[in-house]
Each structure stands twice: as C-alpha cells, then as structure tokens.
C-alpha cells in the first residue's frame, strides 16, 4: 500500500536522523508466563513485549511491540509513531499500528494526527486508513494530567460505523500505583482496575478486578506479590480466578519479569495501544 510505505518511510527516516540526540522519556520491557486450569484441562499462555518513547528536540517518537502465544495460536502487535511540536502548543504526527494473528492474516492502520496542548490538558484528532476496511478510521482523543504522576484520558475511534470508546486513568508513585480502563465497542464492554502497594522496602502487594461482557459475562480477580531488584526492574507472581457464565472457574497462575522507567508524555494512543492497555488489566493476561 503506497500510503503505508510513505508513512513508514517518514517514521524510519526521522528516527534515524534524531536517534543520536534522543532522550528516553519512557521504556518498558516484559515477559509473562501464565498457566490456566479449569480442573479438567490446562493451557499455557506466554506474553512478551516492550515499548519506548524518546524525545529529540521538538520531536517525539514512540514504538510498542508485543506477542501473545496461546498453545498453537499467536498474536503479534506493533505500533510506531512520531510527532513534531510547534511553539504554539500544536503537534502534528504520523503513526502506524498492526495486528497479526497467525493463520488468520493481519490488519494495519496508518494515521495522521494532530493535538493541542494547553496547561495540563491536551485535545486531538486523527484520520487514518486501514488495510482491510473500506472506511476511513477517525478518532478524537484527550488527556488531563491531574498531577505530575497521574493522567486520565479518553479515546473515541470510529471504525466501519462502529464507535470504540475508551476511558483510562493511570497514577503511579514510588509507594503505590493504580490503573483503570473502560472500553466499549459493539457488544464488547471491558471494565478493569489494577494496582500495587508497597508493604516493605522493594516489596509490593498487587491486585486487580475486571469485568468483561460479550453476550456472556466474565469476571476476574487477581492478587499477587512483586519484588523490585533495582529501580525499574521487578519480578511478580500472581494468582487469578476467572469466572465465566455457564463455564467452570479458571485458575490462573502467573510469573512475570518487567523493566520500566519514566512516563509517557504524548497524549496520542493508537488502536494497538488502547487494546493492549485495557486487556493488560484482565488477570495480567497481556502484561503487568
């Protein structure tokens, strides 16, 4: 696709030109291993991924990649973006997101976006082209940096006459952290909250609650413990219980490793970012 090739070329060229002077504002890498058991059978799930955001003068660049393996099925996600901030608070940029399900093909979206930042607020919109859809993809988004460590935001995405609504909140300090998501599209609704609290030096208690509605309901509750070896590097073990209408309860045991520093500055989220953030709070199935 010509549009995609031009868009990716611009992103890659800009990344190459600015990498030497870049300042990393956020970086994250994780690997998680899950065992799901309903008493009759068990399934292993593995998730790997990482993301980065860096600043180079007035440019902001970001990237995110992830892989989810469930037995013989795998899902790969990718997101790349770049933007330029003018002195008047207006930023313009381009991003690319992709979903690739093994044996089912892939789907990608290339979008142009702009947003205006004022005080602790940002408002923006985007227009994009999807590889396998006949319609243009539109979105409107906004954020409010409530504190230095906390952000709330909204994304409205129009895809083939369906509107995806995403509300989220993130708050993180050295002592505790909280993440919440609400996502709704067509017949799917997701409401998820997760958090952590420091109980001893380098040791945290973690937990989460989630409700998923897609015809039938799925509820999850999680509790775990995390140990931080050095700032940003940690290991976590967690237990979750999934309860689905008309099905046996599923016990989930999770072990994960993560390295995370900094905080994202850009208010722009691709469709890949939105989905990964929301599903990551459901029994830790995609990330911590």
Q: What is the pLDDT of residues 52-87, one digit of tens each?
A: 999 999 999 999 999 999 988 899 999 999 999 999
Contact between 204 and 174 (Cβ < 8 Å): no
Q: What is the pLDDT of residue 133?
A: 63
Q: What is the pLDDT of residue 212?
A: 94
Task: Report d(CA 188, CA 216) in Å as an integer.
Answer: 10
Residue 278 has pLDDT above 80, yes or no: yes
Q: What is the pLDDT of residues 140-162, one digit of tens each?
A: 999 999 998 899 999 999 987 88
Closest CA to 99 of 120, 78, 84: 78
**Span 123-152, mean pLDDT?**
90
φ, ψ of residue 260 to 5 degrees: the values are -145, 130
**Tally of CA atoms within 13 A in the half-sphere of 248 that contains its CB:** 10
Contact between 272 and 200 (Cβ < 8 Å): no
Closest CA to 94 of 123, 59, 70, 120: 59
- Residue 92: Cβ within 10 Å count: 14
Predicted confidence band of residue 277 (pLDDT cuts 50, 70, 90): confident
* Structure-token match 């300090």, residue found: 173
Task: Report d(CA 231, CA 174) in Å as an integer.
Answer: 10
- Residue 122: Cβ within 10 Å count: 22
Work out whether strand 42-56 and strand 59-70 pair parallel, antiparallel, or are unpaired.
antiparallel
- Residue 199: Cβ within 10 Å count: 9
Alpha carbon 14 to chain centroid, angstroms: 23
Q: What is the pLDDT of residues 182-228, one digit of tens each?
A: 999 988 999 999 999 999 999 999 999 999 998 889 999 999 999 99
Q: What is the pLDDT of residue 281?
A: 66
Q: What is the pLDDT of residues 89-111, one digit of tens each?
A: 999 999 999 988 876 777 889 99
- Residue 123: Cβ within 10 Å count: 16
* Structure-token match 């689905």, residue found: 244
**26, two tokens:** 């956020």
Contacts 24+ apart (CB under 8 A), 276-280: 276/49, 276/64, 276/66, 276/77, 277/168, 277/179, 277/181, 278/166, 278/168, 278/181, 278/183, 278/190, 278/192, 279/190
DSSP 90-104: EEEEEEEEEEEETTT
Map out the domains of the chain with their CATH numbers: 2-28+51-198+263-279 (2.40.160)
Task: Report d(CA 234, CA 33) in Å as an integer.
Answer: 14
Entry pTM: 0.85
Three-class SS state of 135: coil
């Amino acid at each position: 696709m010509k549009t995609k090739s031009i868009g990716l070329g611009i992103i890659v060229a800009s990344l190459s030109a600015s990498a030497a002077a870049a300042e990393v504002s956020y970086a994250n890498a994780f690997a998680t291993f899950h065992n799901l058991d309903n008493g009759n059978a068990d399934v292993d799930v593995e998730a790997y991924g990482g993301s980065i955001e860096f600043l180079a003068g007035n440019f902001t660049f970001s990237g995110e990649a992830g892989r989810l393996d469930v037995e013989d099925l795998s899902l790969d996600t990718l997101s790349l973006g770049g933007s330029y901030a003018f002195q008047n608070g207006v930023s313009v940029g381009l991003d690319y997101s992709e979903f690739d399900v093994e044996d089912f093909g892939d789907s990608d979206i290339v979008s142009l976006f702009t947003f205006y930042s004022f005080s602790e607020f940002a408002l923006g919109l985007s227009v994009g082209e999807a590889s396998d859809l006949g319609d243009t993809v539109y979105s409107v988004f906004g954020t409010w940096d409530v504190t230095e460590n906390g952000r709330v935001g909204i994304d409205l995405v129009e895809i083939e006459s369906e509107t995806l609504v995403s509300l989220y909140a993130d708050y993180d300090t050295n002592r505790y952290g909280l993440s919440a998501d609400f996502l709704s599209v067509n017949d799917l609704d997701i409401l998820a909250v997760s958090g952590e609290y420091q109980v001893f030096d380098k040791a945290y208690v973690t937990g989460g609650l989630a409700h998923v509605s897609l015809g039938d309901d799925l509820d999850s509750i999680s509790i775990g413990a995390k140990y931080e070896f050095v700032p940003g590097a940690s290991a976590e073990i967690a237990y979750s219980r999934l309860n689905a209408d008309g099905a046996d309860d599923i016990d989930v045991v999770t072990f994960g490793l993560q390295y995370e520093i900094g905080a994202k500055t850009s208010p722009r989220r691709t469709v890949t970012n939105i989905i990964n953030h929301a599903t990551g709070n459901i029994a830790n199935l995609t990330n911590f």
